[in-house]
Structure 1
Amino acid sequence: MKSTIDRRTFIGGVSTAAVGLTIVPSSVLGGKNIAPSDKINMAYIGCGTQGLRELPDLIKNPGVQIVAVCDPQREAVGYYDWSPKGLLNSLQNCIDDKNWNPGGDGKIPGGLNNGKDIVESYYSRVAKNGNYKGCAAYTDFREMFETNKNIDAVKIMATDHLHGVMATAAIKRGIHLTMHKPIANRLEEGFKVIEMAKKSDVTSHLIPWESNGSMEQVLAWIKGGVIGELKEVHNWSNRPVWPQYAEIPAEQPKLPNGFDWDLWLGPEAARPYHPNYTNMVFRGWYDFGGGAMADMGHYSLWTVFGGLELENPYFIEPQRSHVCGLTDKATAYRLNNDYAFPYASSCRFKYPKNSWRPAVDLIWYDGGIRPAVPEALIQQDHELPQEGLMFVGSKGIIMSPFMLKDPYVVSGDLKLAEELNKNVSYERESGVQRFVDAVKAGKQTAGSFREAWPITEAVNLYSAALRSNKNLKYDSVKRQVTNTSEVNKYLTREYRAGWGLDEV
């Protein structure tokens, strides 16, 4: 594709067939070589609140130079955060300017203009000349990748529905990438991205790996027989901590200035703008988010999947809350909702046995739902925490904080548990530095996309099961639901013109 193709061409939905990129040779998928002494030229996609919150750690790394930022929303309008001044104070500290303000509606920082301003203000302060203007700004990541040839790597902090297409565009061009969860909010798209990453020399890194604890101690207890045979793994989260909506917005408010709604929608079907789809609340919609499990399960379960070798679930059972309303005829009805995640849910996955353990059930809970309190904890007058992990065996139970750090035996062979105690370190190198070092060494990180299929598969089956409200029998080889074929439409995406994985 020629770099002279302009922004209007991209927005108009040019197909790859028209520009000669229908087939991507494997040679194209190599990563860019960077000398250990050189800085990595990075692009930064996603200047919302979480993107700006994580920007200082990257911008301060001496091995990185941020050369471009990208976001379809330019101005700081309509953003939400966990505190009124926390993000603002962090950004002011980063650039050493207590007078910096985000503009826009004067509430919460966010948007492309803020991202560019923070990058250039920081580098101006470091250079001590107050005049750095070397950060390009784009609303369309496709244009950025095609026209800016100085990009070695990219950090992606976008909404869930854009992750897969953005990652694909980077890998095709040999651009190393680090990205927030999930890899994709559709199962088939996630599979294709991971397979592409496996065939590429590109360094890939999924950010939530850094927050996962170690399975070393839990595995020592399980394999040592402390709790008998492992039967169940329970994981519960206090998410959602954002508003959920039971109905599709009916009103059509004005689009904020500088917000390219068409680019924000990306591969998803066109619909009128509404703020209830965007920013903090996008996770609650099946089209744009991945729900509570995609949000938090990557932090708690990734090492669980790896340690227990949980692969290829064959049965998925959803339980979900529902919402009722009243008609103008004074009758009640239940909303038929296949567009937004429920306020609360649980989802059970059945995994087959392997060479060293029996079949295991993994049960996820969100929205305030938790598993039953074990008898041993009842006897001790203990309640379950708001978030946590529990490994249930035939003879005992192991409990752990949510992100698998400092687990402890509740019941079972307590003497054997003491004998099998391990001195496990939970300290990890900064995720930013881990990624930088891996790119310069031409290696993968422990959080590589190549290792992320089991968790990617699970979070997308969770979404499809809740959306359909049906028990699913799943063929992991074909990646298809076999007992109710209409659910398979939720495992794939119908891409708008210009947004398919073979087009970006």
Structure 2
Amino acid sequence: MVPEKKNEGNHVSRRSFLRNGALAAAGFMIVPRHVLGKGYTAPSDRLRVAGIGVGGKGFSDISEFAKGPADITFLCDVDTRRAADAVKRFPKAKFYTDFREMFDKEHKNFDAVSVSTPDHQHAVATMAAMQLNKHVYVQKPLTHDIYEARMLTEGARKHKIVSQMGNQGASGDGVRQLMEWYNAGLIGDVHTVYCWTDRPVWPQGIPWPAGKQEIPKELNWDLWLGTAPKKDYVDNLVPFNWRGWWDYGTGALGDMGCHIIEPPFRVLGLGYPTSVECSVGSVYVGEFKRGYFPDSCPPSSHVIMKFPGKNGKEITLHWMDGGIQPDRPEELGPNETMGDGGNGAIFVGTKGKMMCGTYGMYPKLLPTSKTATANVPQTIARVPEGHYLQWVNAAIAGYGSSKAKALSAPFDIAGPLTETILMGNLAIRSFDIRTPRPNKPDAYDYPGRYIKLLWDGPNMKITNFDAANQFVKRTYRDGWSLGV
């Protein structure tokens, strides 16, 4: 078992990060390959990766990096139970519980960082790594908040960092096939897109559990909470069910949107939405009593976003989760699978339709018989090495290199995509804003419901309902800062 670390240095200042980053840059020197001798792999030809959040998906991420020219040199996790497989797989990697302590002590000894924590910790770990001039690979969604996504996008440019988000479908053949069909004009101009998922597969639309449970000795609960408000530990939140709570997760839309909305976002070249509206599923407790649980994501939702399209026309994107699906296209046979079943996207154009599943997989023209007969040349390069090694090789090549410029999901792409997805969550959360009615203590109004929220993308602001702007940027718990 991993020895439990004492929580040393619980706060590392931005000044400390920047000072240490400057020292690291000053002390780094690439030794030419010819000096080292034939057959020797120069240190500059391998990427030293530190993993933050190394259980579950984090473990699979660093394992994928290790298949290429990468060495996993440090492991960090607040839960030693979750870290056990990674410690066994990478016994030479030094283990830490607090990434800030690892950064402060070891910044000279790694080149890049993989972040696979719960959503609410993505931004602080990633920004701290970039301020140390470390390349970053971050699980989806890139951040918990819209503001954080914008800051990470700008930070990657400022610090000249090679970045990639963990939406691996962005490197798949499927989305490139969809782009080639669309660019060839096979379905005309797209005006409507439907995206859906059968998630959540974790509890949502529920009250915060009552009572106080004992914290497992292997879990540092205070570090797990991180930027989120202080709360007592409850069972079954870790390692997975946190996704359904707004303090930590981003619900079904945050979890799956980066895999399902990414194909239309890329194919259609979407930017900031101009408006968003939604409806959400209700939860009832007791007889004819609607539950009000604003801390928890709803059990289902339907979000509608508008984007600028070609020739001044709008593109409408529908997002549906919790098992809600769009109408079945009339061109699809009665026994043919829509999307991949539980998830998918349908593009509706002026000349035809096409669809895909999660990650842009299983691309098909509709009717599906057209798929085999479509004669469109390949114009977009594929990614034979895959999403993970694409980032490893680009990080070794360096910022500004041709490999870095060819990345599938750098923050310049992943940041705006994440902002778009989180716009949907802003609408969902605005749906539950309530205000008491005058002289009626048990009655409330819900001013954020059944309206269209107008979005000023460049300035990150809802212009017609100011109360919704509280969800653009949250307040961190004392001791935590984004450092910008």
TM range (shorter): 0.7 to 0.9
Partner Cα separation in structure 2 for residue 438 and residue 418 of structure 1: 36
1:172 maps onto 2:127 in alignment: no
Picking from 307, 316, 320, the partner of 1:361 is 316
The percent identity for this pair of structures is: 29
Q: Which structure 2 residues correspond to residues 100-499 of structure 1 after superposition, within 5 A?
A: 110-111=82-83, 113-120=84-91, 134-148=92-106, 149-210=108-169, 212-244=172-204, 246-326=206-286, 331-354=287-310, 358-377=313-332, 380=334, 382=336, 384=338, 385-410=341-366, 418=373, 420-422=375-377, 428-443=384-399, 444=404, 445-469=407-431, 470=448, 471-499=452-480
Partner of 1:86: none
In 2, Cα distance between equivalents of 1:23 and 1:399: 50
- Tell me the residue number matched to 2:444: none
Q: Distance in 2 between matches of 1:383 and 1:174?
A: 46
Structure 1 residues 436 and 23, CA gap change in structure 2 (3 angstroms): closer
- AA at the equivalent of 2:329: P
Give the residue type in structure 2 aligned to 1:266: G
Q: Aligned letter for 1:146?
A: D
Residue matched to 1:102: none
Asked if 2 retains the 8 angstrom alpha-carbon contact of 1:32 and 1:202, the reply is no
- Kindly state the Cα deviation for residue 139 of structure 1 after the two structures are TM-superposed: 0.8
* Cα root mean square deviation, aligned: 3.2
Cα offset, 1:30, TM superposition? 11
Relative to structure 1, is the Cα distance of residues 373 and 206 closer, same or farther in structure 2, using a 3 angstrom cutoff?
same
Secondary structure (helix, strand or coil) at the match of 1:333 reads coil
Structure 2 counterpart of 1:10:
9
Q: Which deviations, in whole Å up to 9, do the C-alpha atoms of 1:235-274 show, x marking residues without a partner?
A: 1122222333511111211000121111111111101111
Find the aligned partners of 2:392 and 2:26 in 1 and give their Cα distance: 17
* Paired residues of 2:169 and 2:175 also in contact (CA < 8 A): no
Match of 1:276, SS state, is coil
Measured after TM superposition, the shift of residue 293 of structure 1 is 2.2
Native 8 Å contact 1:310 1:454 kept in 2? no
2:25 & 2:235 partners in 1: Cα distance?
37
Task: Tell me which amino acid in the other structure corresponds to 1:462.
Answer: G
Report the CA distance shift for 1:208/1:415 in structure 2 as closer, same or farther (over 3 A): closer
Does the CA contact (< 8 Å) of 1:165 and 1:501 recur in 2? yes
Q: Deviations over 1:2-26 (max 9, x none)?
A: xxxx976632x4655xx56799999
Distance 1:32-1:396 versus aligned 2 partners, 3 A rule: farther
Per-residue CA deviations over 1:306-341 (Å, capped at 9, x if unaligned) read 221111211111121110112xxxx53211222111
Instruction: Report the residue type matching 1:200 in the other structure.
Output: H
Q: 1:64: how far off?
A: 1.9
2:74 aligned to which of 68, 75, 81: 68
Write out per-residue CA displacement over residues 103-145 of structure 1, whole angstroms, 9 at most, x where no aligned residue: xxxxxxx23x44323311xxxxxxxxxxxxx421111001100
CA contact (8 A) 2:277 2:304 kept: yes
Partner SS, residue 362 of structure 1? strand
- How far does residue 501 in structure 1 lie from its aligned partner after superposition? 0.8
Secondary structure at the aligned position of 1:403 is classed as helix
TM-superposition CA deviations, 1:188-222 (whole Å, max 9, x none): 01110111001122211112144544444434544
* Cα displacement (A) at 1:228: 4.1
Distance 1:478 1:114, change over 3 A: same
Instruction: Return the alpha-carbon distance in structure 2 between the equivalents of residues 179 and 364 of structure 1.
Output: 24
* Distance verdict in 2 for CA 1:55–1:14, change over 3 Å: closer
Supply the AA of the counterpart residue of 1:482.
T
Partner of 2:57: 50
Residues 323, 232 of structure 1: CA spacing in aligned structure 2 closer, same or farther, 3 A cutoff?
same
Cα gap change, 1:47/1:25 in structure 2, threshold over 3 Å: closer, same or farther?
closer
Q: 1:44 to 1:481 in 2, by over 3 A?
A: same
Amino acid at match of 1:495: Y
Q: Give a deviation string over 1:430-464, Cα, whole Å, max 9, x none.
A: 33321221111114233211222331111211111
Q: Structure 1 counterpart of 2:479, which letter?
A: G
**Per-residue displacement from partner, 1:259-293 (whole Å, max 9, x unpaired)?**
11111111111011113332111111111112222
**Gaps (5+ residues) in structure 2?**
32-40, 432-447
For normalisation by structure 2, the TM-score amounts to 0.82
For residues 353 and 139 of structure 1, what CA distance do their matches in structure 2 show? 47
Other structure's SS at 1:377 match: coil
Q: Which runs of 5+ in 1 are unaligned?
A: 1-5, 77-109, 121-133
- Partner residue of 2:443? none
Contact 1:285 1:339 in 2 (8 A): yes
CA contact (8 A) 2:272 2:420 kept: no
| Contact 2:182/2:267, CA 8 A, preserved across alignment | no
Number of equivalent positions = 439
Residue in structure 1 matched with residue 38 of structure 2 by the alignment: none
Secondary structure at the counterpart of residue 318 of structure 1: strand
